[in-house]
Structure 1
């Protein structure tokens, strides 16, 4: 497989949507069972993470095989480095983004399924099970929101432009001291806390927020946290870059995305990135 046509991408996103809904059902059912929480170093892992991961991988591989596609998942990346690095088409999977919120029962967790071509996403599915909503996108094909009754509508980010009118979504649990100081000094002071990255980007799609900021500390978001959310945002009119404006590259040897990342509705993206760089320079100079 060298080039996928638009029709091929639509077929692949249809497969991923079906698997996404199936995964959402598994997670909602398992919320009410013994979770078997384990410490995996970067955060907790539950039986639900593992069951959802198996379901996604088994169904993608049953539908598509492994000859032309590599697979990168939060649960298997340490054993799949060689296989995926040699594949131009790689599925990137987070079976349960927001495990802490899943355990706590906030409902702010999501499922991420993305297809990369070399190092950039071309197909994306993000499911927010508690909201009964699935977002999907294909490169140059726009972003859509699907409900469980099968209804589908296109979605676009807000057009808000005044910095003081923009709302930031940030993490509750991944706030290092530099990020706290950055948020305190940032020109947008309206803030919301949302659990998963998929949920944060969904808030921007639903026009209840415009900006998401991530700043790595001892840990950093990984490919599976970001690849699917990035494409549904950019295809809805938003932007997602490092603070210096460069695009994220996926399926690299290091799956961590170190540094500062900024997602927005796009209207003031460059100004927001510039502000982040300048504020961080002031913080680090103290």
Structure 2
């Protein structure tokens, strides 16, 4: 197999191309062609023509560029055609449009996630923020970098803030429930910043604009493609991302759902906040 650095060099231009497609639907000549549909009958899980177009573009490009390699593929828009765990050693986990509601509502806070997973853990990841025209990428053990449209690249690190009261939570506008609101209201950190898309939230931690993100499943849960790429770019930037009990996230397990409580942070108060979250939730009824 090609080395991970060579693979990264292949997928960076693919990610720029995918960003351009999304921007053409968001603000360009295709903005009236979204054709919004819903994956369920409750109108809560939208999919647009942009999701499908970028999904097709990324898969076709990866499979063309890496045609001689034995990769598996799990994508938000194609997983329903797959049966359980992908048995390939190396598996791409892709979200062509993370934050579809924000895309539709024109907040600009949407992202593209591409991760390469081995043995249930991410080894390479890229998160694109099209409206900021930035790519954030990481290889396990190599740090996290941001690249701008002009090709400039620099390394990025999370904040050093370590006083719980001074930390800022990045929260969702739409994926909220009573249990999560209860937890957030009881934590020692009460500064909050609202951002769409998981990738966008994690980028705010990497860019030192926030320090903590919490996901708490209810009737549904975030999926592998929501978490795999954001996790690696955060941890390689010095942060931490675990279940409340400290166990690592796992991907391509046969269940695409990431159940339970997950906490992403700059790492400074991570263990304490995880334990505090578990304690607070014992009082929820």
- After TM superposition, the score normalised by the length of structure 1 is 0.95
What is the aligned partner in structure 2 of residue 240 from structure 1? 241
1:261 alignment partner, SS class: strand
The Cα offsets for residues 14-71 of structure 1, whole Å up to 9 and x where unpaired, read as 1121111110000000112321000112610000000000000000000112751000
Structure 1: state its 5+ residue gaps: none
What is the aligned partner in structure 2 of residue 52 from structure 1? 54
What is the aligned partner in structure 1 of residue 200 from structure 2? 199
Aligned residues of 1:71 and 1:80 also touching (Cα < 8 A): no
Q: Paired residues, what number?
A: 278
* RMSD of aligned residue pairs (Cα, Å): 1.2
Instruction: Single out whichever of 65-74 and 42-51 deviates more from structure 2.
Output: 65-74
Q: How does 1:144-155 map to 2 (within 5 A)?
A: 144-155=145-156
Aligned residues of 2:73 and 2:86 also touching (Cα < 8 A): no
CA distance in 1, matches of 2:217, 2:155: 32
CA distance in 2, matches of 1:15, 1:117: 18
Larger helix percent: 1
1:91 alignment partner, SS class: strand
Please say if 1:159 is aligned against 2:160: yes
CA distance in 2, matches of 1:25, 1:218: 34
CA distance in 1, matches of 2:167, 2:101: 27
What is the aligned partner in structure 2 of residue 20 from structure 1? 15
Q: How does 1:247-286 map to 2 (within 5 A)?
A: 247-284=248-285
User: Could you list the runs of 4 or more consecutive aligned residues of structure 1 that deviate by over 6 angstroms after TM superposition?
Assistant: none
Structure 2: state its 5+ residue gaps: none
2:15 alignment partner, SS class: helix
What is the aligned partner in structure 2 of residue 43 from structure 1? 45
- After TM superposition, the score normalised by the length of structure 2 is 0.95
What is the aligned partner in structure 2 of residue 77 from structure 1? 79
Instruction: Single out whichever of 36-45 and 188-197 deviates more from structure 2.
Output: 36-45
Instruction: Single out whichever of 92-101 and 63-72 deviates more from structure 2.
Output: 63-72
Q: How does 1:2-151 map to 2 (within 5 A)?
A: 8-31=3-26, 32-41=31-40, 43-65=45-67, 67-81=69-83, 85-151=86-152
